[in-house]
Amino acid sequence: MKTVYQKSAGLTGVPMHYCPGCTHGIIHKLVAEALVELDVLGRAVAVAPVGCAVFAYEYFNCDAQQAAHGRAPAVATGIKRVRPDNIVFTYQGDGDLASIGMAEIVHAAMGGENITVVFVNNAIYGMTGGQMAPTTLVGQPTTTSPLGRSRLGQGAPLRVCEMLATIEATAYIARVSVHSIPRLNVAKRALKKALQLQVENKGFSLVEVLSTCPTNWGLSPVDALRWVEQNMIPAYPLGVFKDIEGGT
Amino acid sequence: MKTVYQKSAGLTGVPMHYCPGCTHGIIHKLVAEALVELDVLGRAVAVAPVGCAVFAYEYFNCDAQQAAHGRAPAVATGIKRVRPDNIVFTYQGDGDLASIGMAEIVHAAMGGENITVVFVNNAIYGMTGGQMAPTTLVGQPTTTSPLGRSRLGQGAPLRVCEMLATIEATAYIARVSVHSIPRLNVAKRALKKALQLQVENKGFSLVEVLSTCPTNWGLSPVDALRWVEQNMIPAYPLGVFKDIEGGT
Amino acid sequence: MAKKLMKGNEAIAAAAINAGCRFFFGYPITPQNEIPEYMSRELPKVGGTYVQAESEVAAINMVYGAAGAGARVLTSSSSPGISLMQEGISYIAGAELPCVLVNIMRAGPGLGGVQPAQADYFQATKGGGHGDYRVLVLAPANLQEAVDLTQLAFDLADKYRNPVMVLADGMIGQLMEPVEFSPYHPAFALPPKDWATTGTAESGGRRRVINSLYLYPDELENHVRAIYRKYAEMERTEVRYELYDCDDADVVIVAYGTTSRIARSAIEKCRRLGLRVGLLRPITLFPFPFAAFDRVVDRTRAFLVVEMSMGQMLDDVKIAVAGRRPISFYGRTGGIVPTPEEVVKQVQTLLGGPGA
Amino acid sequence: MAKKLMKGNEAIAAAAINAGCRFFFGYPITPQNEIPEYMSRELPKVGGTYVQAESEVAAINMVYGAAGAGARVLTSSSSPGISLMQEGISYIAGAELPCVLVNIMRAGPGLGGVQPAQADYFQATKGGGHGDYRVLVLAPANLQEAVDLTQLAFDLADKYRNPVMVLADGMIGQLMEPVEFSPYHPAFALPPKDWATTGTAESGGRRRVINSLYLYPDELENHVRAIYRKYAEMERTEVRYELYDCDDADVVIVAYGTTSRIARSAIEKCRRLGLRVGLLRPITLFPFPFAAFDRVVDRTRAFLVVEMSMGQMLDDVKIAVAGRRPISFYGRTGGIVPTPEEVVKQVQTLLGGPGA
Amino acid sequence: MAEERIIAAGFGGQGILMLGKLLAHAGMMEGKQVTWLPSYGPEMRGGTANCNVIISDAVIGAPIVSEATCVIAMNLPSLDRFESFVQPGGWLLLNSSLVPRASTRHDVQVLAIPVNDIAHQQGSLRVANVVMLGAYLALSQAVRKASVITAIEDVLGPGKQHLLPINLNALDAGIAFATKVQV
Amino acid sequence: MAEERIIAAGFGGQGILMLGKLLAHAGMMEGKQVTWLPSYGPEMRGGTANCNVIISDAVIGAPIVSEATCVIAMNLPSLDRFESFVQPGGWLLLNSSLVPRASTRHDVQVLAIPVNDIAHQQGSLRVANVVMLGAYLALSQAVRKASVITAIEDVLGPGKQHLLPINLNALDAGIAFATKVQV
Amino acid sequence: SPRLGPTRSPSVVQASPPPSPPGSAPQKSFLPEVIFEENLCKGCELCITICPTKILKLDTTRVNIRGYFPAIVYNLAECSGCASCAKICPDSVITVRR
Amino acid sequence: SPRLGPTRSPSVVQASPPPSPPGSAPQKSFLPEVIFEENLCKGCELCITICPTKILKLDTTRVNIRGYFPAIVYNLAECSGCASCAKICPDSVITVRR
Ligand SMILES: Cc1ncc(C[n+]2csc(CCOP(=O)(O)OP(=O)(O)O)c2C)c(N)n1
Ligand SMILES: Cc1ncc(C[n+]2csc(CCOP(=O)(O)OP(=O)(O)O)c2C)c(N)n1
Ligand code: SF4
Ligand code: SF4
Ligand code: SF4
Ligand code: SF4
Ligand code: SF4
Ligand code: SF4
Ligand SMILES: [Mg+2]
Ligand SMILES: [Mg+2]
């Protein structure tokens, strides 16, 4: 009898603190599996954000640094410049990356820093209790947009992939989702490719993963997956926005 | 006999401190003329950057605030939210806007803030003595890239217009140059349009003006104009990248 | 008005609105999120504007712009976020703009934790930013005081054209107590904002400029000296503190905000044990109530400074006491709030005995 | 090695490279641009890396990452830029990472000016960031000392796993003096960096984590207390200062860096006038040489603190003197460097006469 | 000087913070000094919650309760954590529906109430906290029932007045249970 | 204790900072204590520049010169600004090619040198500063000519040795002029 | 915002076929195994939703050490061993063998 | 990085036709006027380069109060009054009338 699926060796096995059904956990697994399958776990250095994933350094079974809110790309740059042979990746939420960390992510991309960014977009500030994010959908209520985000005065959701894809030195930019098994498989391939490109010194790679926040969305984990499919994907089209290898 | 051209009433007349032939002076004139011709000088509030244009508050013949380095869009947001009837514009260099101020400009654009940004791109840090900017051309030597900016490790010039044009809430994004009279006339029309859109509450508008830095480029003012035409424009194509009114 | 049971964070936000604040620029951070959340809910109802900035750096610079345009404006954050505001605060002080900042302190350094702390005292009172400037710092110990001081903060900011900080911690931010809102009246006549950038058409032609740049040292020195004359005026006029049970005190506890409440409970316990203990509670941390110490130093045998830090206000107490009496320090940090019992023990060891 | 005539900024940069620093992350700002410019020119020649960060905020966080990866790393800036680094510095101290920071101070507050100042003393020594932490601060008065202290800074940073700041000003940064570089040897045995994130393969399996988050207050308090034991050790071991002409001094001038040089010239003039004046020059600003004052306090009649600020080190001097002697203060700010003649006048008024 | 110091603890969903707020609210309406202090922080949401309530005739110093006149434990972890906080002679109220064990303290008065079951009978698990509040009312003089009822009305607000009956019944059920066992 | 305190000032392009560096460099090679302090800041580039040089046998305190043993004014604004800095009996060297007026000081020794014209004769305006340096050498004992020559060689470096002759000629021309008028 | 759960080592519940009586057909042993680290389960029901054959449910008769109803297989016979449940589980509760 | 110039009010140099003798043809007065606020001039030569008829030059015989050779018109007769010089001048030195 052979094992079809078991917990990844890329995870420490420390029980995760995420709320029930939060897809942060799924994304952790995919990243961990990619590191193992590329056989780079031993030289990987994770950079944890400030956000619900702050404890990522407890979960990924590799060395890690915890970065100030939004600064993970800068921290990763520091690590990678010192140790180019390490595989350095950041794991950042949408508040962390798309709000306070905007300058850092744009400049890591501009510089073609040879790092990989896992961008977990759940359209909200999870850890602080559900405030509006730059990625919050128009009309979506949050604790700081109680009547729903309004286009007038708060603008439209920020499409990070589309924006960063305009930057020349980027190697790979893709948006994926984990709301179904087929999507989850695509997501894993994207993460592997992004990390593989780093191994090949191809430069900056980023994978945006649409994710859920059942707790702050006020939905059951199952309904939250549906919400991703029905509401987020229309606002955040899935796909590959940049691939220096041309392929998809 | 009628006056074909004279100093704009939009300028205070205080002699400008710019180096001989620096096109900052030309851009000041165009902005000032646009304000006068739109008849909004009396309700205009300029936001001066940190950069060679820091003294803009001495030159524009309207109220002004001097902003911390890179934060002009945030300062302008504060002003505009308090006094929506004022015409608020920032005047920012490429280090100010595209380097330290990246988060602020992206978020002002995302929020569709009803302000106008005059973005003066001279591919260098002028005020501090010619260090590399995110907009420095590949191969261009600066005091912090003595052998010329190298794509590898420093990336390629950041194209701000192309990047911001991907953001939904922007009303008008254009890149112009002032190296010739025809170009200068186009530049002025673009600046007028950008300000006009603010008057009409159409949201965020930005005009990138290619500019010279004879002092730090080590060129005569005349050669500097040529350098803009021959080296900058190929890297920074002129044109309108976003126009909610569809036109050009 | 009738008393209302409110959370500290909400009471502070409500007080700001009551004082006429119509603009809030901020970024979420625990344990002060109820402030932006309250503002995003309530400001629109009174024609005000809530802007969630992309960061604390942006927030403080939006505050600069809004204050420069003449508005009463508030921002709030907690320790790491306040660190990011230091350049902006220095600019606001340098440009002489009025605004109110709230720091609901949490434990540091770094990401630290989210529980209550008082370890940003140095940053708040000495100036965590660059250059010669100070922020007027108000430290409430209960929610009614938080309301009153928040309203006063706006008046003081306008009077002195200087940032004023309400410095509290996670406990006060999360605590609920009854508070009363009386109709707001300025504490004193306020100067006209004839410097605000309203556009020359409205102001009548004279250009107005908000700025902190003075390339010529003599001009800059004059500018700074003028600012320091305001600080001297604050030291004369604005010093606030409370003396409690000090008349016969052998030990005077010095504590502000949350720890002053712990001290109060400790003092009651001490008194029951027959230990004569009093409290000197600074309410303004800058200007610091140095003179208050002269009123108690002769009578008391020792001072006990209690902080939720490794010892920061302690420096100012040393300066105030100037070697006239021994000073001992009891600090907890990392988010731990000391218990009255711990403080009692400190007093007992100081007085060399469990009690009289 | 032979003496070389160098600019202060370049001497500091060269010293860093000499001490084995191979990584620089920074952002241009006057008056310290020669540091990044020198690094961008020289680091590649020795296999090092210069990264021009997008901002000081990014720079300090790159430093965090590089230090966490085990490198000797430097960043430099001037006042407003250092303000932007405060959150990051607090993180670095909280995560116990070694790094060297250079602040070539200019006049503030706000954008202020670019001329020399000493108005970031509070920020540097008390902690401009949030939470309980300190930065070890070294203040050179001449370029040879700038070189020696910069090299020492890297050793101290590694020894204590704490940020160390070289605090100077625009005058020292722009000044040229002869400097000598001897081959670098660590000042003492350095601990192995067995905490650096090198990847588990290289470190042999045990995961390494760089972090400053401790959600449980008791854990965080223990962590902070451990850090403060290092500071106590610094106070025992690392205090540095210079006494000059103090043995018979009726007035002891307290000054550091640039102002200590002015004071030295003033003292010579005073001596010629028959006025007995000495100098107490703190070299480490944190830890501050409190004990040094005990050595001179009995003999001297008064202290004169001279700073290019409105009075910041003054606080520490008050704490050190603890009321035993009168302290007077002479400060210039805004970028003005006081002249020896001005200082002599201060001494004369103090001693109530032009001279003996 | 009379001072009541209560610690109420339980799972996140058990309305324990509301229980505390109702007490503080009631105390306030009786002109007493009151404080209500919740546990907070990321670890709280969905996890265990607790609050400290003080109702006093005099100015309240420390709002953190270290010596409680009453501890309310709505589940086992809460009992484990706060049992020791009850001052000698003080009250320990247990939700026996979820707390399997008895108290180990012999110097305090213990009352075990199956509030979940009682609330279930009243028609909704969500009023379990009000049942417990009723029980507390029966044992303590801290606040009057009338004040608590007004507090409930205020908290429900105009929108939710239809929930008033079930809450009042729950309150009475709690009072009834406590008085019964007391007799 | 011998201490030479020089202020050299002129337009940005006149090589005034280099003049000061050469002096400091020479002093250093003679084992003296030296400092060189330039004016700096945005307002400097393209504008007026000046530097303070101190050459001393003892440790140098303040590197800012308030009482100069010699002021070198390469243009009129420099004279206007620094004339008063010369200490009684000190030297004031003027570039008479650009300075139209005479000095108003009568308690100092003044030497007017048409350095631009002399430099022009030497073949390049760009060595005007070296001409002035030569004049200074003729009047002061601060440093030896030999040291200055080595300093020039060092500064030119291997790449620019071909410029050595014109610089040395300029130096001699300056010395010659100064000695001539002195005689 | 996260709940910090206990980190005790979880107990394992295996949904595997009963030991086959001697001489009975071996094909039974081709049934997949679906193993739950039950104390890691948070009862989120993602596995239940994703399972193509709908053979998972929460066991509402008991809670695990974290106070959640754990997921179980109630009809292993229908299990295809596709491991969808295991893949989607955010907490790596499930191991699938075939 | 900028030079901070003096802010004294500049002197005006007008390049306009000589007063026409009484009774002479009026068309002379159709010549444009090109007026320089000479003390604002920085001698950058942009006007000189841009002038389509190439009738501007720097007057190297004198410097203005800022120490620059000022630009002048040396052949007004050729001037088309197009104002290109004035438009390009960064320092608003030039006024053109026609
Ligand atoms: C400088 C600073 N500002 C604000 C915070 C508070 N904070 C912590 S996490 C967070 C945002 C989390 O949202 P996101 O990045 O989307 O991550 P998520 O929790 O949604 O996965 C904020 C604002 C902080 N810790 N530091
Ligand atoms: C926080 C901060 N960092 C750095 C500086 C120094 N500084 C002043 S201007 C400038 C860049 C100027 O370049 P740019 O924005 O392109 O304007 P330019 O002078 O080229 O017109 C820098 C880095 C500063 N004043 N403040
Ligand atoms: S708060 Fe939202 S994002 Fe954070 S762990 Fe809970 S569900 Fe996930
Ligand atoms: S392996 Fe596939 S069929 Fe079997 S339980 Fe899991 S999801 Fe259902
Ligand atoms: S997906 Fe995992 S955690 Fe969720 S119910 Fe299934 S087994 Fe439990
Ligand atoms: S330095 Fe460059 S940008 Fe600045 S004024 Fe001079 S020429 Fe213009
Ligand atoms: S107006 Fe036209 S033609 Fe006349 S000088 Fe100016 S540019 Fe030349
Ligand atoms: S363009 Fe203006 S500044 Fe330049 S030379 Fe012509 S007139 Fe003078
Ligand atoms: Mg998020
Ligand atoms: Mg620029």
- DSSP string of B13-40, one letter each residue: -PPP-SPTT-THHHHHHHHHHHHHHTT-
Dihedral sign of CA atoms A55, A58, A60, A65 in order: positive
Nearest to A97 by CA among A60, A48, A144, A57: A48
* DSSP secondary structure letter of residue D354: S
pLDDT-based confidence at E168, cuts 50/70/90?
very high
Dihedral sign of CA atoms C298, C303, C305, C311 in order: positive
- Provide the token pair at B93: 């260099």
Model pLDDT, residue B72:
98
Which F-chain residues 111-140 have CB contacts (< 8 A) with chain C? none
Q: What span, in angstroms and rounded, lies between the C-alpha atoms of F54 and D264?
A: 15
Contacts of B91 (CB under 8 A, 6+ apart): B27, B28, B31, B46, B47, B48, B49, B53, B56, B60, B72, B118, B120
Q: Which bound ligand lies closest to the C-alpha atom of A224?
A: 3
Query: What CA–CA distances, in Å, run from B44 to A119, B51, C208, C209?
Result: 40, 21, 11, 12
E100 touches chain G (CB under 8 A): no
Whole-number average pLDDT of chain E: 92
Question: pLDDT tens digits, residue range C287-310?
Answer: 999 999 999 999 999 999 999 999
pLDDT (average), residues B61-69: 98
Question: Closest partner residue to B221 among H1, H46, H95, by Cβ?
Answer: H46
Does H touch B (3+ CB pairs < 8 Å)?
yes
Model pLDDT, residue H10:
46
The answer on pLDDT for H8 being more than 80 is no
The answer on pLDDT for A85 being more than 60 is yes
The answer on pLDDT for H24 being more than 60 is no
Q: What span, in angstroms and rounded, lies between the C-alpha atoms of D160 and D231?
A: 9
pLDDT (average), residues B45-52: 98
Helix (H, G, I), strand (E, B) or coil at H68: coil
Nearest to D237 by CA among D325, D160, D146: D160
| Count of alpha carbons within 13 angstroms of residue C231, beta-carbon side | 24
* Cα of C165 to nearest chain A Cα, Å: 23
Model pLDDT, residue F42:
62
Question: pLDDT tens digits, residue range E141-150?
Answer: 899 999 999 9
Binary contact (F41, D262; C-beta < 8 A): no
Model pLDDT, residue H2:
42
From G3, G12, G44, G66, give the residue whose CB has the most ligand 5 atoms within 8 Å, as the site to mutate.
G44
* E strand segments, chain C: 4-7, 23-26, 49-52, 73-77, 99-105, 136-138, 163-169, 176-179, 209-210, 241-244, 251-254, 277-282, 284-286, 302-307, 327-331
What percentage of chain D carries pLDDT values higher than 70? 99
Lowest model confidence (mean pLDDT) among A174-183, B27-36, F9-18: F9-18
The answer on pLDDT for D1 being more than 90 is no
Whole-number average pLDDT of chain F: 92
Q: How many residues does chain F have?
A: 183
Model pLDDT, residue C40:
98
Cβ–Cβ under 8 Å, residues A148 and A139: yes
Q: What span, in angstroms and rounded, lies between the C-alpha atoms of G48 and A222?
A: 9
Q: What span, in angstroms and rounded, lies between the C-alpha atoms of D184 and D161?
A: 20
Question: pLDDT tens digits, residue range B222-245?
Answer: 999 999 999 999 999 999 999 999
Model pLDDT, residue H22:
55
Q: What span, in angstroms and rounded, lies between the C-alpha atoms of E66 and E86?
A: 8
Model pLDDT, residue D356:
66
Paired strand residues for D50: D24
pLDDT (average), residues D163-181: 98
Model pLDDT, residue H23:
56
Question: Residue D135 C-alpha to ligand 7 middle, in angstroms?
Answer: 63
Q: How many CB atoms lie under 10 A from the CB of residue D63? A: 32
Q: What span, in angstroms and rounded, lies between the C-alpha atoms of A126 and A124?
A: 6
Paired strand residues for C49: C23
pLDDT-based confidence at B169, cuts 50/70/90?
very high
Cβ–Cβ under 8 Å, residues D35 and D13: yes
Angle at B87 between CA B83 and CA B88, to 5 degrees: 85
Angle at C159 between CA C156 and CA C161, to 5 degrees: 95
| Residue C298 identity (one-letter amino acid) | D
Alpha helices in A38-86 (DSSP H): 56-59, 72-82
Binary contact (E42, G2; C-beta < 8 A): yes
Q: What span, in angstroms and rounded, lies between the C-alpha atoms of D133 and G90?
A: 38
Model pLDDT, residue H65:
83
Q: What span, in angstroms and rounded, lies between the C-alpha atoms of D219 and C167?
A: 25
Question: Residue H38 C-alpha to ligand 8 middle, in angstroms?
Answer: 9
- What's the distance, CA D318 to chain centroid? 20
Residue with tokens 């030309």: B26
pLDDT (average), residues C37-44: 98
Residue G91 in contact with ligand 5 by CB distance below 6 A: yes
Nearest to D197 by CA among A207, A202, A78, C111: A78
- What's the distance, CA B193 to chain centroid? 14
Residue A113 in contact with ligand 1 by CB distance below 6 A: no
pLDDT-based confidence at F11, cuts 50/70/90?
confident
Question: pLDDT tens digits, residue range D37-67?
Answer: 999 999 999 999 999 999 999 999 999 999 9
Model pLDDT, residue C2:
83
| Residue E69 identity (one-letter amino acid) | T
Contacting residues of D for B128, CB less than 8 Å apart: 28-30, 33
| H-helix or E-strand spanning residue B181 | helix B181-199
Model pLDDT, residue G29:
60
| Residue F158 identity (one-letter amino acid) | P
Question: pLDDT tens digits, residue range E41-77?
Answer: 765 445 679 999 999 999 999 999 999 999 999 999 8
Q: Indicate which residue's Cα is closest to atom 3 of ligand 8.
A: H41
Binary contact (E40, C31; C-beta < 8 A): yes
Model pLDDT, residue H12:
73
Cβ–Cβ under 8 Å, residues B199 and B227: no
Sheet holding E48-56, edge to edge: C4-7, C176-179, E33-38, E48-56, E3-11, E68-73, E86-95, E109-113
Q: What span, in angstroms and rounded, lies between the C-alpha atoms of A140 and A231?
A: 10
Nearest to A223 by CA among G51, G68, G46: G46
Q: What span, in angstroms and rounded, lies between the C-alpha atoms of C270 and C254?
A: 15
Model pLDDT, residue C92:
98
Question: pLDDT tens digits, residue range G7-58?
Answer: 344 467 776 655 555 555 545 567 999 999 999 999 999 999 999 999 999 9
| Count of alpha carbons within 13 angstroms of residue H16, beta-carbon side | 16
* E strand segments, D44-135: 49-52, 73-77, 99-105
Model pLDDT, residue D310:
98
Angle at E170 between CA E165 and CA E172, to 5 degrees: 95
* E strand segments, D78-162: 99-105, 136-138
Query: What CA–CA distances, in Å, run from H75 to C320, H11, H53?
Result: 79, 21, 9
Contacting residues of C for B61, CB less than 8 Å apart: 200, 207
| Count of alpha carbons within 13 angstroms of residue C293, beta-carbon side | 24
The answer on pLDDT for B248 being more than 70 is no
What percentage of chain A carries pLDDT values higher than 90? 98
pLDDT-based confidence at H7, cuts 50/70/90?
very low
Q: What span, in angstroms and rounded, lies between the C-alpha atoms of H44 and H89?
A: 9
Lowest model confidence (mean pLDDT) among D283-292, F36-45, H27-36: F36-45
Secondary structure percentages of chain B, helix, strand, coil, to 5 = 40, 20, 40
Contacting residues of D for F36, CB less than 8 Å apart: 5, 175-177
Chains with ≥3 Cβ pairs under 8 A against H?
B, F
Confidence check on the interface: ipTM exceeds 0.90, yes or no:
yes
Residue with tokens 């009114």: B245
Query: What CA–CA distances, in Å, run from C79 to A54, C142, C247, C308, D180?
Result: 18, 20, 36, 14, 43
Nearest to C334 by CA among C122, C29, C117: C117
Instruction: For chain C, count helices (H), then strands (E).
Output: 14, 15
Q: How many residues does chain H have?
A: 98
Nearest to C10 by CA among C167, C174, C140: C174
Nearest to A51 by CA among A104, A102, A120, A118: A120
Lowest model confidence (mean pLDDT) among C93-102, C133-142, C177-186, G20-29: G20-29
Q: What is the DSSP string of A92-155?
A: EEHHIIIIITHHHHHHHHHTT-S-EEEEEE-SSBTTTTSB--TTPPBT--BTTBTT-B-HHHH-
pLDDT (average), residues H43-62: 96
Higher-pLDDT residue of G15 and A226 is A226
Question: pLDDT tens digits, residue range C244-259?
Answer: 999 999 999 999 999 9
pLDDT (average), residues D259-282: 98
Nearest to C54 by CA among A8, A165, B77: B77
Q: What span, in angstroms and rounded, lies between the C-alpha atoms of D244 and D270?
A: 13
User: Would you state the torsion angle of the CA atoms of residues D289, D292, D298, D302, taken in this order, to the nearest 10 degrees?
Assistant: -50
Residue A124 in contact with ligand 3 by CB distance below 6 A: no
The answer on pLDDT for H62 being more than 90 is no
Which D-chain residues 38-67 have CB contacts (< 8 A) with chain C? 57
